[in-house]
A and B are shown apart, each in its own frame.
Chain A
Amino acid sequence: MSKLESKIPEGPIETKWSKYKSSVPLVNPSNKRNLEILIVGSGLAGASAAASLAELGYKVKVFCFQDSPRRAHSIAAQGGINAAKNYQNDGDSTYRLFYDTIKGGDYRAREGNVHRLAEVSSSIIDQCVAQGVPFAREYGGLLSNRSFGGTQVQRTFYAAGQTGQQLLLGAYSAMERQVGMGTVQMFARHEMLDLVTIDGKARGIIAKNLVTGELERYFGHAVLLCSGGYGNVFYLSTNAMGANVTAIWRAHKQGAVMGNPCFTQIHPTCIPVSGDHQSKLTLMSESLRNDGRIWVPIKQGDDRSPNDIPEEERDYYLERRYPAFGNLVPRDVASRAAKERCDAGFGVGPSKMAVYLDFKFNMMRYGRVEASKQGLPNATDEEILKLGKEVIKEKYGNLFDMYKQITGDNPYEASMRIYPAVHYTMGGLWVDYDLMTTVPGLYCLGEANFSDHGANRLGASALMQGLADGYYVIPYTIGAYLSKEIATKAIDTNHPAFVESEQRVQKVLDTLLNIKGTKTVESFHKRLGKIMWDKCGMARNEKGLKEAIVEIQALRKEYWSDLRIPGVQHEFNPELDRAFRVADFLELGELMCIDALNRHESCGGHFREESQTEEGEALRDDENFAYVSVWDYKGESQWELFKEELKFENIKIAQRSYK
């Protein structure tokens, strides 16, 4: 790669996208029918792109490793989706959403992309409602909103604690409709293991049929990677077990550069780790912070049950430190504050690595409203609490049940215990304004790309971005490329590039199966996760990162000499599939540490201990680091750094404050 071109259209920010849309080249319908698009991943980005592109007339093939496209991990998003509808009349606007997102991302995102995201956000809600997504409603029949972190307006649309599920099922059914019409072909239990490029352009993929173990070749005029985030590099995360980096990592090794790989979101409200058997962490939606107050005891090592600790002995530290936003500070701020309290010895629970999230205050508040509505002016506190519990149950019932199921404790009776956990990766494949990577014809959408969230994503914005990319951006931007490809006939998959690519994958599979060592994939993954969490997690420093790089290299060496995989390739063999994914995580982990080491500033989710204010807040260095770190793969452990300068023309860059 020689030069990064972000291709942001000229002109004022408000008109960039509309001007782009009216000038981007189009593909006529009869040509669309001859153009094939491969989509890897069937989450919000993948499914919405598949549906929209097929509706336009393109021939689409979709691949997912799960047994059904409806399983993609977007389904687990709980709290909601943002949109600048201003239905609440509380001062929201496209500009505010744009501003909040840039500020929330600690000024490390591209203005052009983010403004476009804010512009299309409203249409997403319209589209979803038209698809039958049952968003929460008020008694008058209109849509309900709630607030999320990092904002002072109510712009989050939701469906109880299952917003991701409802949005995904909407996109999934739109896609299945096209499957029924024959315009989308679905390949479930298929995992992309390599990208095929011909003359520098993306022309197809090699996918493994996970049931038969067969390697299969697929041609496409363009390839869309919508494969989600790579939080599982940490082993323990809120991601689904199967979520992995392989699709984008394989593309990275074929020339697509990575942007800001170290930007990881640690979500403040997750259920704490209970033991070393733990396979994953569970998120408690950020929406709980609407009605929950976070606190720790004022006294260190206070072992009393939370209900026995009186008000005056509680430290509501977020409200204390950030009076303006209180419990609704952005995720990175809330997470670091929790870590700070626990490190200082105020943590609670058996591990002392947890803080309390308490609902009693708001249960009482809701209870009083209910009592008044039901005409019970003399209700006792107990009755009010009971009424309040009902309200909380209606809003968050499924989350409370989940908490109870996992911990065995009843959150209606005592404060929840929570602790931050890896949740989302802002980094990913670098893309330009068209969402195209540095490999022509290769696009990257949703969490898999690096684009919109800077160094920290605001709550309820992941769903917004996934659907914006799939429904409203790619259908336009892909025309810019495909309009020049109408003369390209479908390439036979016996082309040498396909053969070579398949051989490359086959070699990796053979090598993995032939190590016949002594340790399981799981054990390596756990060890990698521990290195990453300890040294490239919530707080990072030069010494730790340097150590981590050496440790990961050593672990990788051990992996390729002492791994044990049972069975053979040509069968349903989840251990082998996982081994391939972990092999890629072992390379990604190193790059994340290199990136974190290079970024000698704190911003958003990336906290370098060397760079903080006296009060312990993240300290940015705009003079030296107002850029996207872009890494080009040059061979094992070798990357070349490129910098995409970030220009802020519409927002005054400032130290972020939520106080």
Chain B
Amino acid sequence: MSHGSMKINLKVWRQKNAQAKGNFEDHIVNEVSPDMSFLEMIDVLNESIVNKGDEPIAFDHDCREGICGTCSLYINGRPHGPLEGVTTCQLHMRSFNDGDTITVEPWRAKAFPVVRDLVVDRSAFDRIIAAGGYISVNTGNAQDANCLPINKEDADDAFMSASCIGCGACVAACKNASAMLFVAAKVSQLAKLPQGQPERYTRVASMVAQMDKEGFGACTNTGACSAECPKEISLTNIAQLNRDYMRAKFLENA
């Protein structure tokens, strides 16, 4: 079936499982349409791989509308590819040129081991949230939603932080594979809301402890995380995390 007229050369990381040694594999995808998403281009390639009797390239994806955070892929040296503020599933082939060679790699971090090919295990993020990324309120305990007015600016800021999709691009982009931006986004979201105050300092302390346990690197403030974040989460979140952590450790009993 013909889709379009672009030809793309792909260099894709293949790795059978976590233990196996991986290597790059070259593929040529013909008849690529500029309206295809990057993942649809891989779909087309996979279809032809399966038709040849080989195993398709495994990659994570689900909603394909840039919100679930499942898709990943290090494309030509950048997480989620060349565009800013865009996830891989929303990256379209019109961002590439006919005849381009594109290198596709999985996220690389000790805390994100490869499962297969381009699929990595990001459960470390879940464990960080389980360590404290919540407000302890049992169902049924809540007071009326309008009891606590919240300054619109604070609410908007909290929302901006909360728009993190947990894709892991920040870790992938950071030269230290640090998870600071992810942790900071959650810490800041809850720090900016009155509901988040009671656990504010214990939260930051336990989340950072879990982050360290998972084997992420230390932040060196290079700013690559924020520059590559598909949701453009700001570095001010990390400053907030640092601030709250210091207070938690030196002034509060956390």
Q: Is there a direct interface between A and B, measured as CB atoms under 8 Å apart in the complex? A: yes
Chain A residues with CB under 8 Å of chain B are 48, 51-52, 55, 66-73, 75-76, 85, 87, 123, 125-143, 159-160, 162, 164-166, 169, 172-174, 176-177, 179-180, 186, 188, 211, 238, 240-242, 274-280, 282-283, 401-402, 405-406, 408, 471-472, 475, 518, 520, 522-523, 564, 566-567, 571-575
Known contacts A127-B142, A276-B1, A405-B92; A572/B121 CB under 8 A: no
For residue A574, which residue of chain B has the nearest CB? B58
Q: Are A176 and B129 in contact (CB under 8 A)?
A: yes
Q: B222 at the A/B interface (Cβ < 8 Å)? A: no
Q: Which residues of A contact B78 (CB under 8 A)?
A: none
Known contacts A141-B151, A241-B62; A85/B50 CB under 8 A: no
Q: Are A141 and B130 in contact (CB under 8 A)?
A: no
For residue A475, which residue of chain B has the nearest CB? B139
Q: Which residues of A contact B54 (CB under 8 A)?
A: 566
For residue A238, which residue of chain B has the nearest CB? B65
Q: Are B35 and A67 in contact (CB under 8 A)?
A: no
Q: Which residues of A contact B166 (CB under 8 A)?
A: 68, 70
Q: How far is the CA of A66 from the CA of B54 in the complex (A)?
A: 24
Q: How far is the CA of A180 from the CA of B207 in the complex (A)?
A: 11
Q: How far is the CA of A402 from the CA of B92 in the complex (A)?
A: 11
Known contacts A179-B126, A279-B40; A406/B90 CB under 8 A: yes
For residue A142, which residue of chain B has the nearest CB? B146
B85 to chain A, nearest CB (A): 7
Q: B253 at the A/B interface (Cβ < 8 Å)? A: no
Select the stretch in B98-106, B154-162, B172-180, B212-220 that faces chain A.
Answer: B154-162
Q: How far is the CA of A177 from the CA of B138 in the complex (A)?
A: 10
Q: Are A138 and B152 in contact (CB under 8 A)?
A: yes
Q: Which residues of A contact B158 (CB under 8 A)?
A: 132, 134
For residue B70, which residue of chain A has the nearest CB? A71
Q: Are B122 and A68 in contact (CB under 8 A)?
A: yes
For A129, give its contact among B3, B139, B145 (CB under 8 Å).
Answer: B145
Known contacts A130-B137, A241-B64, A571-B17; A137/B150 CB under 8 A: yes
Interface residues on B, range: 35 or more
Q: How far is the CA of A139 from the CA of B55 in the complex (A)?
A: 55
- B116-130 interface bits toward A, Cβ cutoff 8 Å, 1 = contact, 0 = none: 100101110110011
For residue B39, which residue of chain A has the nearest CB? A279
Q: Which residues of B contact A136 (CB under 8 A)?
A: 155, 159
Interface of chain B: mostly helix, strand, loop or mixed: loop
A105 to chain B, nearest CB (A): 26
Q: Are A126 and B129 in contact (CB under 8 A)?
A: no
Q: Which residues of B contact A566 (CB under 8 A)?
A: 49-50, 53-56
Q: B5 at the A/B interface (Cβ < 8 Å)? A: no
Q: B248 at the A/B interface (Cβ < 8 Å)? A: no
Q: Are A173 and B155 in contact (CB under 8 A)?
A: no
Q: Which residues of A contact B136 (CB under 8 A)?
A: 177
For A173, give its contact among B129, B151, B156 (CB under 8 Å).
Answer: B129
A490 to chain B, nearest CB (A): 25
Q: How far is the CA of A408 from the CA of B134 in the complex (A)?
A: 38
Q: Are A165 and B53 in contact (CB under 8 A)?
A: no
Counting chain B CB atoms within 10 Å of each CB, which of A48, A128, A134, A173 scores highest? A134
Q: Are B195 and A129 in contact (CB under 8 A)?
A: yes
Q: Are A177 and B3 in contact (CB under 8 A)?
A: no
For residue A211, which residue of chain B has the nearest CB? B115
Q: How far is the CA of A72 from the CA of B62 in the complex (A)?
A: 9
Q: Which of B19-35 contact A (CB under 8 A)?
A: 33-35
Q: Which residues of A contact B37 (CB under 8 A)?
A: 279, 406
